[in-house]
Structure 1
Amino acid sequence: MQRQDHPLLSPSLGVQKTLSSFHFGKPGSGTKVYIQASLHAEELPGMLVAHHLRPLLEAADAAGKVVGEVILVPMANPIGLAQRVDHKPMGRFELDTSENFNRHYPDLASAVLPMVRNALGDDGRANVATVRTAMGQYLRQWTPKTELESLRRQLLLLSHDADVVLDLHCDCQGVMHFYTEEACWPQLEPVARFIGSRATLLAKSSGNAPFDECLSGAWWKLADALRAEGNHAPLPQGCCSTTIELRGEADVHDRWARPDAQALFHYLQYAGVVACEHPPELPAALCDATPLAGSETLYAPCPGVVVFAHEAGERVTKGDLMVEIVNPIEQTRTPIHAGVDGVFYAHIRDRYVTTGCELGKIAGKVPFRTGDLLGN
């Protein structure tokens, strides 16, 4: 195991933040898996999972069993982790710019298209290597202007040539769930099984350029752009990435983090990145994959105290009472009902909302939304 510390661009005199990565196996020896936690810095379950995963990887590496390459970034956002306002963590948005730490990543497909359009041949594997080299060149030439840009650049330098990227997040309150692009689902379906996903949401592109889709989306977007130009050189999906939502913000417990880490380690064994005598069996799926465009977000039509009628993880039917908004001044209760059949997979932690606030999400099977599918 090797530890690498990556200094970020200093935002002010006397201030220097550092991103740390832990490297297992040998670069170029086989499948590369990149795992990071808490890019939204107030989402802490991933850091505890990384804490439990690291000794498993260290032991495997010491025994020579990491036959591919694994990079673990147990705390992916030192900027957000240091942000607090009135004693409350502010790890989702950078305070200087109000930008979401998990949005606005570069369009790698557009960046490398001029570099590779005349360099690809008939060998798909060689084409993947060519594109990865071009991505690395683009990222090394990118001169960040802010601390936030330097963080984004460093995360991409560590992950751009990975075969699999696992980005560990969590919701406000929820059950284990899983987001990925449609092009990645066949390869990542085992991950959803090992972690016990209760809602698996697929989209061709969810919009707003999050970290995971910056990496996986580059490949199918580049392939589409090449075909549009009449270039039919084979280009496999060189990176499959996913956002894993490890339940809710308060679900920071060893009793969950330890088996979650073991599940990720079992996936690495199943995928052949960590050698073992008897590879783990693939668990049964706990849910069917559904379109992210079929996920209904419930919103508050008025201000008041939030009273949920269902717990996260429950299956609900269209028309079911989901939430009531209580106004104790007027003595009213405003009901909000489910608009789709599906799993109520996440909801807010706050119990007072203003008009228009998000309340919760139901994973439905029938797509009905268009445009950007992710929230802020």
Structure 2
Amino acid sequence: MARTIERIVLPSPSPGTERHLVVHRFGRKGARPRVWLQAAIHADELPGPLVLHHLMPKLAEADRNGQIPGEIMVAPFANPVGLTQVVGSVLQGRYALDGSGNFNRGFLDLRDALEEAMAGKLGNDAAANVTAIRATIEALLAEHKADDESAILKLTLHRLAATADIALDLHCDDQAALHIYCGPRQAVAFADLAARLGAAALLTAGDSGDTPFDEALTRPWWRLMERYQDKPIPNDAMISCTVELRGRADIDDATAQRDADGIFDWLQARGAISGKAPPAVAPCPATPLDGVGPVRTPHAGLWVPCVEPGTRVTAGQIVGHLIDPMLPADAGRLALKAPVAGTMFARMRPDLAKAGDRVAKVASPQSIPGRRGKLLGDR
């Protein structure tokens, strides 16, 4: 079918205003496999919308050629609320200015409710189980009510994506090499995507804390797989990941086109687009999210990095300096070192850092003792 564009009206935050979530649909509505692609839930992370801008003409052509057997839905700007938050001429899109928190935290955690609702309802037919689970998830989300604008936006996105087979959430870091977050059960599926995008790291966690969008979609399925191990529930009934498209300033047409090509080829390899996908290079090896060693500042100062994102580092290697220009040069310069060996995949841009800021992240192949809780952090 021809592409359709849906404008979903969000509740007005004030008299005389109205916001819309715009969703582009390709293929046949309701058909499978169903794919959900969104960008800029953190509204100031803009490489993702440009990638989807380059991807959609490819999807439109595939649709015209009858190559989309199911449905592909695209939300190029998933956060119209955050897009309005301009303070001092700077877009502030990570946190809701009404105090309701990070736009990509606090999605509904359906694990307990789904486990309870599915008790006694799973059989020995995998396809029937998947259908029943999806219907139950839809019903649970339909029952839920949200009041404030941010919660309504999150619930709307959750409802749109919850019954997809595949969901990709496109983000970016401050300054970074491309990297991907996903669950351990789905590392094989996303290792191929990581390879096609040239990712420097594929980071896995069963529960990173705070329920980001991608885990809100997948963790309920994982709970059922753990609870009902005697019942067939396909691991690929719902796969979702977060793709960090390098840094905020990495916005150019050539890079975005390559990323769009990589996503298109991966969707083709997954069967969401018919045709033969070109072979991928060697898959990106997965490493545990609790193996990420953060580089933190012991006090405030000017953060000056000296290692580029994507660089392999050794434990103890200097990755930057923390400088207090008000002190003598010999006393005002502190070397900050990698806590573990691995790939320094992301860093904070050169800026004024507060005490305790995480200014760089190093992915190591082993879990770090004591690393638990909110593994993503909130900055």
1:149 equivalent among 148, 151, 166: 151
Partner of 1:81: 83
* Counterpart contact for 2:306–2:319, Cα < 8 Å: yes
* Alignment: residue pair count: 370
* Counterpart contact for 2:191–2:202, Cα < 8 Å: no
Partner of 1:363: 363
1:282 equivalent among 269, 280, 283: 280
State how 1:171-190 maps to structure 2 within 5 Å: 171-190=173-192
1:13 equivalent among 12, 15, 34: 15
2-structure distance, mates of 1:52, 1:262 = 8
Q: Residue 141 of structure 1: CA displacement?
A: 2.1
2-structure distance, mates of 1:327, 1:153 = 45
Say if 2:304 is the partner of 1:307.
yes
Letter in 1 for 2:287: T
- TM-score, normalised by the number of residues in structure 2: 0.94
Partner of 1:249: 248
* Counterpart contact for 1:178–1:199, Cα < 8 Å: yes
Q: Residue 288 of structure 1: CA displacement?
A: 2.1
Partner of 1:196: 198
Give CA deviations for 1:224-277 in whole Å, capped at 9, x if unaligned: 3446xxxx332223211110000000111101001111111111111121112x
* Counterpart contact for 1:219–1:236, Cα < 8 Å: no
- TM-score, normalised by the number of residues in structure 1: 0.95
Partner of 1:72: 74
* Counterpart contact for 1:47–1:74, Cα < 8 Å: yes
Partner of 2:291: 294
Partner of 2:232: 234
Q: Secondary structure at the match of 1:78?
A: coil
Partner of 1:335: 335
Partner of 1:131: 133
Q: Point out the more displaced range, 7-16 or 90-99.
A: 7-16
Letter in 2 for 1:262: D
* Counterpart contact for 1:184–1:216, Cα < 8 Å: no
Q: Residue 119 of structure 1: CA displacement?
A: 1.9
Percent identical: 37
Give CA deviations for 1:27-85 in whole Å, capped at 9, x if unaligned: 44332121100111100000000100111101111111111221111110000111011
Letter in 2 for 1:367: S
2-structure distance, mates of 1:359, 1:324 = 10
1-structure distance, mates of 2:324, 2:72 = 52
Change (3 A) 1:225 1:12: farther
Q: Residue 142 of structure 1: CA displacement?
A: 1.8
Q: Secondary structure at the match of 1:336?
A: strand
Letter in 2 for 1:310: V
Letter in 1 for 2:262: A
Letter in 2 for 1:366: Q
Q: Residue 302 of structure 1: CA displacement?
A: 1.6
* Counterpart contact for 2:192–2:280, Cα < 8 Å: yes
Q: Residue 113 of structure 1: CA displacement?
A: 2.7
* Counterpart contact for 1:269–1:280, Cα < 8 Å: no
1-structure distance, mates of 2:88, 2:41 = 21
1-structure distance, mates of 2:200, 2:227 = 35
2-structure distance, mates of 1:284, 1:366 = 21
State how 1:152-163 maps to structure 2 within 5 Å: 152-163=154-165
Partner of 2:347: 347
2:118 equivalent among 109, 116, 119: 116
Letter in 2 for 1:200: L
